[in-house]
Structure 1
């Protein structure tokens, strides 16, 4: 925890004068069913890519998402942005849940079995941009469809919340 606090303090000191709405890059620490890191690169048109890695007790997932951003409530606030996109991932899972919709009283059954599964992702989120400090708060949902897993395919919903450190590419001043 001390190292994380020192890292954040160093980033704050080194980022004087940046405005969050002008950023090109972001490094995000996120939490969900586990912990994750992501790196986002966007251009002046609020489009770009996000590469993320999430690790939990039952899952490890790496994904690449094509990101689109636009003001969520342009008449109310210039600090809140809608994020959406699509992408792909590869995941390693150590267990999965089975549920039969025709016997809803039976509940979920957990099956312990290691497997790798590629898939397609849909992404939606909200980002709050601070104007005077180089941090954003992000909440998002990654909905993905996986192939080649036990039971042939699966659908997952991964909600996350994170804190992103943002910075501008010096070449784009």
Structure 2
């Protein structure tokens, strides 16, 4: 898959997780979905920040990417709040609705604006190679939200691997689901 196809696939997975949350029958099931959602969105955001947006910024070179990147911070802040919730927390439902709305706007902006523009200005081979990098990066990406961490290279490129190791250790110690 090329990078845009891979990211669109991630978007569909996240949309399904929101539906799974709404369909869950117990607090424990909803919490399990939240943990997977936090993990998947955290990895997705990190890979966009480390690989996709820098690539797009080189191709588009007009500051167009900055507004898309800015959309990540409120999503990561909501993810952090959700990550701190416990099963049955009354705030969880409201946070999930706010997150669903923010993610929907972000997905629409990326898929309707940034991705078509990028596809029109770069070649398929470059997008396929970037897709491979993103796919491989999923094994090393942070699994928790870090809204106050740098979101642009070069500092991001240095911080992300260290944060990812820490996140995965925390996940293992807390018995979080692996995806």
> Structure 2 length normalisation: TM-score?
0.24
The structure in which a higher percent of residues are strand is 1
Structure showing greater Rg: 1
Task: Indicate the structure whose relative CO is greater, using CA pairs within 8 Å and at least 6 residues apart.
Answer: 2
Which structure is higher in helix share?
2
Report the TM-score, using the length of structure 1 for normalisation. 0.25
